[in-house]
Amino acid sequence: MKYFVALTLLISVGLSYGQNEKPLTIDSCYLWARENYPMIKERGIILQTKQFTLENAWRGYIPQLNVNAQATYQSETANYGSLFATLPPQFAGEIHFPTYSKDNANIDGQVKQVIFDANATKFKKENAVAQADVQQQNLEVSLYSLRDRVNQVYFGVLLIDQELKQNDLQQADIQNGIDKTQALVNNGTAYKSNVDELKAQLLQTQQSKVDLVSTRRAYIMVLGLLINQTLDDSTVLIAPQSPSLIPDIRRPELQWYELQKKSYDVQSRQLETGLLPQINATFDGEYGRPTLNPISNDFGAYWIAGIHVNWSLSTLYTLKNNKRLIALSQNDLDVQKETFLFNTKVTMTQQNEEIKKYGDLVSNDQQIVDLRESVKNASSAQLQNGVITSHDYLTQVDAEAQARVSLILHQVQLLQAEYNFQNTSGN
């Protein structure tokens, strides 16, 4: 657990580069990246679409009003003159038949009220809810992938911060060697070239720091764009603690598969509504000419009320195959889910092996650092006493620096591997 102790110490000292009042945590970056991602706007669109679709479905129960107007002119009307010739003479003066106009006009208003729609409206609402849930969960799947992008940038900054701290320590060691060697030069027991060699190494180390600072600035800019926050060189990132590694898979994709399957169930049950009749009550009111009175040529108002039953049996021909198509879609969905779980388990197995590898490397690195530090400290005393040259001292300083860089690299890689495992498992 030495790497954990080292990371805990890292948290306590707070990465001394910068004085931000509110240091960043990886959880806050997850949250801001999610809120800032343009796709998050789809959530409001999905909710509004769901609301409007449900309202439209519910309005199927509201009485429907249709208004039509018509004006016509016909070339010929009914002629009852031939009928007079067949009547007895005594009735000829008693019966009068109207002369119908060739121009006709009427305005018609119809009100239709659903009495029974075979649950068609109910399934429209259920399907609207199911589709909205699927779209919402699909959005969650897309947003979840942001965590991997945040991890790459966040842990990249953490690694550079630790390299910068190690660079400062290395500069301090070299400066210590310069001071001791300069004292020997002043006493005439060492050459000035030894001091120059140390100074040259100090300049190279300072150049490395410039490169690290530039790289860190680039990472910080990318992180700032991801989370929509203003970040600069003084931004402090807090190293997270090692997470609990849970092997169970709880990815948002699994919920998407379940919701999609539920949507197919709704569609399957919706097919059966076509087997039942639809019953509507209707009321038609009209004004115009001709009316329902066959012996009147005057304008007038009239109405018709009734019950309409519509029962189409054509659904029987395709119901079985349509249900089979939906069942095939569900089977395909099960295969996709099984494939996803298989690939996720493979990835988690690989990541778990990486965690074990980096854990072993960190343990060995710590022992190497302890040994290299002991050798460097001994070399510092030998340099002060003139036993070794500045070149020999620099060799030990570089060896310790490389050992510490390796330790830092593996510590951050271990922590990142653990968070990658956590994100892969969905925990």
Nearest to 320 by CA among 265, 278, 268: 268
For position 182, what pLDDT does the model report?
Answer: 87
Judge contact between 288 and 106, C-beta under 8 A. Answer: yes
Residue with tokens 């169930």: 265
Domain ranges of the chain: 2-80+119-277+314-425
| Distance (Å, whole) CA 239 – CA 219 | 16
pLDDT higher than 50, residue 356:
yes
Q: How many CB atoms lie within 10 A of CB 128?
A: 20
Q: Output the six-digit token pair for 252.
A: 């948002």
Is residue 1's pLDDT more than 60? no
Which residues, other chains included, contact 113 with Cβ-Cβ below 8 Å and sequence gap of 6+? 63, 64, 280, 281, 282
How crowded is residue 310: how many other Cβ atoms within 10 Å of its Cβ? Answer: 9
Task: Give pLDDT, residue 393.
Answer: 82
Q: Which residue has the tokens 């996720």?
A: 344
Give the SS3 label for residue 185: helix
- Rounded to whole angstroms, the Cα distance separating 372 from 365 reads 10
Rounded CA gap, 336 and 258, in Å? Answer: 12
Strands 103-116 and 300-310: unpaired
Give the HSE-up count for residue 118: Cα atoms under 13 Å, Cβ half-sphere: 15
Helix H or strand E segment including 404: helix 390-425
> Taking the mean position of all CA atoms in its chain, how far away is CA 94?
87
For residue range 289-338, what is the model confidence (pLDDT) as tens digits?
777 777 777 788 888 888 888 887 777 787 888 889 999 999 999 999 99
Percent share of the chain, pLDDT over 70: 90
pLDDT-based confidence at residue 417 (cuts at 50, 70, 90): very high
Short-list 245, 240, 249, 170, CA closest to 205: 170
Count other Cβ atoms within 10 Å, centred on residue 191. Answer: 14
* Tens-digit pLDDT profile for residues 160-206: 998 898 898 888 888 888 888 888 888 887 788 888 888 998 999 99
Q: Which of 61-75, 81-95, 232-246 has the lowest mean pLDDT?
A: 81-95
Rounded distance between C-alpha atoms, residue 173 and residue 184, angstroms: 17
pLDDT of residue 98: 66
Radius of gyration of the chain from Cα atoms?
Answer: 43
Q: Is the pLDDT of residue 11 over 60?
A: no
CA 21 to CA 29: how far, in whole Å?
16
Q: Please state the length of the chain.
A: 427
Q: In this predicted structure, what is the pLDDT of residue 348?
A: 93
Secondary structure class of 343 (helix, strand, coil): helix
Q: How far apart are CA 415 and CA 131, in angstroms?
A: 39
Q: What is the mean pLDDT of the chain?
A: 83
- Residue 357's pLDDT is 93
The Cα 57–Cα 49 span in angstroms is 12
**If DSSP codes are grouped into helix, strand and coil, which group holds residue 132?**
helix
pTM of the model: 0.72
Q: Is 119 left (phi over 0), alpha (psi -120 to 50) or beta?
A: left
DSSP conformation class of 188: T
Res 274 pLDDT > 80 = no
Q: Which comes out higher in pLDDT, residue 24 or 16?
A: 24
Answer with the residue of higher pLDDT: 17 or 87: 87
Q: Is 408 a residue whose pLDDT tops 50?
A: yes
Residue 97 has pLDDT above 90, yes or no: no
Q: Mean pLDDT, to the nearest integer, of 350-379?
A: 91
CATH number, domain 2-80+119-277+314-425: 1.20.1600.10
Query: Which regions of 27-102 does DSSP assign to beta strands (E)?
Result: 64-73
pLDDT computed for residue 3 by the predictor: 39
* Count of Cβ atoms closer than 10 Å to residue 211 Cβ: 12
Q: What is the per-residue pLDDT for 9?
A: 38
The tens digit of pLDDT for each residue in 30-79 reads 999 988 888 787 778 878 887 777 777 777 777 777 888 888 887 777 66
Give φ, ψ of 17 to 5 degrees: -85, 95
pLDDT of residue 206: 92
Tokens of 15: 């990465």
pLDDT digits (tens, 9 = 90+) for 107-131: 888 888 878 777 788 888 888 889 8
